[in-house]
Amino acid sequence: MSEMQQPVHHEPIDISVLTSFAGSQGDEESDLVVELIDLYLTDSSRRLADMRQGLATSDKSSLARAAHALRGSSGTLGAWQVAESCEELERLAIDLAFADVALVLERLDRELTSVRQVFLTARHERTHT
C-alpha cells in the first residue's frame, strides 16, 4: 500500500488533523486554519477542473499531475477519502483506464462536496467565535 494509508474514516475529513495546525501560529497572527481552508477550497476546485480537462482530452499526464497535487493537500489536511480517490485516479491515468477515471471522478466530486461543507462549517466556527 501507499505511504498515505490511514485508518478508515467514515467522516469526510479528520477535523483533528486540520485543527492541529492551530498550534503552529502565534497569538497575533491570522488564523492559519482559516487560511489553509481557503487555500484548499480554491485549489481543490482548480485541481478537479484540471482532472476533468485531462479526462476530456485523454491527457494522462495532466490528469495524474492534478490528482497527485490534490492527493497531497487532502492528505495533509485529513481528507483521507479524497486522498485515496486521487491516488486511485493517478494509477488509472497511468494505466490509461479512462472509463474508470470517469467513475472515480464522479465519486471524487461527491467526496469533495462533503469535504467542502465540513471545511466551510469549520471556517465559519473559527471566524465567528
Please state the pTM of the whole predicted model.
Answer: 0.86
Please report which residue ranges of the chain form alpha helices under DSSP H: 15-19, 32-56, 60-76, 80-94, 98-127
Q: Is residue 2 part of a domain?
A: no
Q: What is the CATH number of the domain that holds 69?
A: 1.20.120.160
**Domain span including residue 76:** 30-127
- What are the residues whose beta carbons fall under 8 Å from the beta carbon of 39, sequence distance 6 or more? 73
Cell of 40: 484548499
Phi and psi at residue 14, in whole multiples of 5°? -95, 95
The pLDDT confidence band at residue 1, using thresholds 50, 70 and 90, is very low
Q: Which of 21, 19, 50 is nearest to 121 (CA)?
A: 19
Taking the C-alpha atoms of residue 122 and residue 14, their distance in angstroms, rounded to an integer, is 12
27-76 confidence digits (pLDDT tens): 677 889 999 999 999 999 999 999 999 999 999 999 999 999 999 999 99
> 15 pLDDT band (50/70/90 cuts)?
confident
pLDDT-based confidence at residue 113 (cuts at 50, 70, 90): very high
Domain total in the chain? 1
Say if 18 falls within a structural domain.
no
Specify if 22 maps to a domain: no
Q: Is residue 70 part of a domain?
A: yes
| Mean pLDDT of all residues belonging to the chain | 89
